[in-house]
Chain A
Amino acid sequence: MRSLFSIFLFLAFLLLGGAEVIPKLISLSQQDGTHVAFVIGAPEVDAKKTGQGFSAERKEELLKALGKNNLKYR
């Protein structure tokens, strides 16, 4: 039983660790060194070149917190 639980825990740690890190690494792999991590005050900014490096899930919360539509974030 302890053996099964140990295996389960190890795989769960690996899975969750991977879920945390791999999206960030994929995002980094798509950058070419000229990206901008975050911009405010640029309504027409090209989203493809900005905001990478931060998780996408915060986009809506950020827009809400800032109360502005002039933020491109992903």
Chain B
Amino acid sequence: MLKVEKILVLFIPLILVLAWLGGENRISATKSAQLSNISAQIKKLKPLGEGLYQARAADTTEDLYLAVGSSPSYGGPLEVAVVVGQDKGVRQVAVLKSRDTSSYMERVLGLGTPGAFIGRMIDDLPEVDTVSGATLSSVALIRSIESAAARIGTSRFGLPQQPEPEVTTTPELSKLVLITLLFGAALWGTSRSCRVNRRKFRALLLVCSVVTLGFWFGSQFSIATLALLLDGDWLHGVASYAALLCLLLAVVSFLLTGKNLFCSMLCPFGAVQEGLGKITGCSAPLRYRWMTWLARTWVVTLLAAGLYYHAPAAIMYEPFGKAFTFIGSGVVYALTILVVIASLVVKRPWCFLFCPATSLFAYLTAVRRLFGDAGIKQAQLQKSEPKEIHAS
């Protein structure tokens, strides 16, 4: 192992920890300052209790109540503030903090979900439909608004306390079980005890993965999932743990067995690229050493930025969302189209050239080497990983 590689293995976690700590120091402003920014109408804000404030309207001198509500969303807790007047009418709704991918939140906000609450009485809030394609974000937004309104209703207007909405865990649990089964099947498929045709088994697993992890769950892990895991905000709750579990199982199985099960057997986006490549029978692209190091530097820089700003979703650039759930910006759309076309010319272009997972597993390989893992089997690695071509 090269000396510089050893230094980097230890240096990269240090960079990420420093970025996270720097971000913690950066957030020095108080919640009151943030709430005052909701509207110039909000004056003389004073706290009444946990997540509850009173203010004075600037022009009417009416007393206003502000409450903060939160609910787990896809990328972590979604925090909302609701401003209510003396007549129990909702005046303003503000999203204080969202860690969801902006395209999904834009979809929810663009369809007017918070607007439905404006002008309504807090004891007569509307039944708002969830937004198809961004269900988790819209459910979190609606629940956060209802939670904040209920806080004001019970404490200031003597309204009866509403029971907490039931959290449906069955679909989420079934997702987690199915993901674990997929990894178990992938592990079995690469083991000696597997007696079936390995190529056919791998193809079947990839198809299952495209259907479940790709289209059904939309839970392919990305650089944002890695940042979310490192940031630790998922400990406060996320609406879906599917992508996190995928990432954890991929990392743990790699560290324990040396097999990159996810990239070789389960990655839905990789499967789509490979499927397209089969049409033309193309070969892998050339990856020069400068590309490898530039891609790794890019990943570390983005992770550090995501941790510094405590905004994992902001660093996501992969085309997975557009490919499977058809949500994403114009740039991501262009990237998706480029990958699809390029897949007909070279094999798995995204995986070989720019996927952050490739850099992640390269780092984990270096970690295994550094800590003297005698059990690492290079042959297994070569079998299970997409073979990279390094041109000098």
Interface of A toward B, CB cutoff 8 Å: 2-3, 5-7, 9-10, 12-14, 16-21, 24-25, 28-29, 32-42, 44-46, 49-50, 53-55, 57-58, 61-62, 65-66, 68
User: Judging by beta carbons under 8 Å apart, are A17 and B354 in contact?
Assistant: yes
User: Judging by beta carbons under 8 Å apart, are A9 and B106 in contact?
Assistant: no
Closest B residue, CB atoms, query A65: B110
Checking B92, B96, B353 against A13 with a beta-carbon cut-off of 8 angstroms, the contacting residue is B353
| 7 closest Cβ pairs, A-B complex | A42-B39, A41-B92, A6-B285, A13-B354, A38-B95, A34-B29, A17-B317
User: Judging by beta carbons under 8 Å apart, are A35 and B34 in contact?
Assistant: yes
Interfacial chain B residues near A25, Cβ < 8 Å: 305, 309, 314-315
Known contacts being A3-B286, A17-B335, is A9 close to B349, with CB within 8 Å?
yes
Closest A residue, CB atoms, query B111: A65
User: Judging by beta carbons under 8 Å apart, are B39 and A44 in contact?
Assistant: yes
Closest B residue, CB atoms, query A68: B115
Known contacts being A16-B331, A21-B302, A38-B95, is A6 close to B33, with CB within 8 Å?
no
Interface of B toward A, CB cutoff 8 Å: 26-30, 33-34, 36-41, 81, 83, 90-98, 102, 105-106, 109-112, 114-115, 118, 283, 285-288, 291, 294-295, 298, 302, 305, 309, 311, 314-317, 329-332, 334-335, 338, 342, 345-346, 349-350, 353-354, 391
How many angstroms between the C-alpha atoms of A20 and B298 in the bound complex?
13
Given contacts A9-B338, A20-B316, A53-B102, 10 further A-B contacts (CB under 8 A): A2-B286, A7-B288, A10-B295, A12-B338, A13-B353, A21-B302, A21-B315, A36-B95, A38-B98, A40-B93
Checking B29, B81, B83, B349 against A32 with a beta-carbon cut-off of 8 angstroms, the contacting residue is B29
Interfacial chain A residues near B294, Cβ < 8 Å: 10, 14
24 example contacts (A-B, Cβ-Cβ < 8 A) are as follows A5-B285, A6-B291, A9-B346, A9-B353, A12-B338, A13-B335, A16-B335, A16-B338, A21-B315, A25-B305, A25-B309, A25-B314, A35-B37, A36-B94, A37-B96, A37-B105, A38-B109, A40-B92, A41-B91, A42-B94, A50-B38, A54-B105, A54-B109, A55-B106
How many angstroms between the C-alpha atoms of A50 and B93 in the bound complex?
12
Closest B residue, CB atoms, query A72: B39
Write the nearest CB–CB distance from A29 to chain B, whole angstroms: 8
User: Judging by beta carbons under 8 Å apart, are B391 and A16 in contact?
Assistant: no
Checking A10, A35, A36, A55 against B291 with a beta-carbon cut-off of 8 angstroms, the contacting residue is A10
Write the nearest CB–CB distance from A22 to chain B, whole angstroms: 10
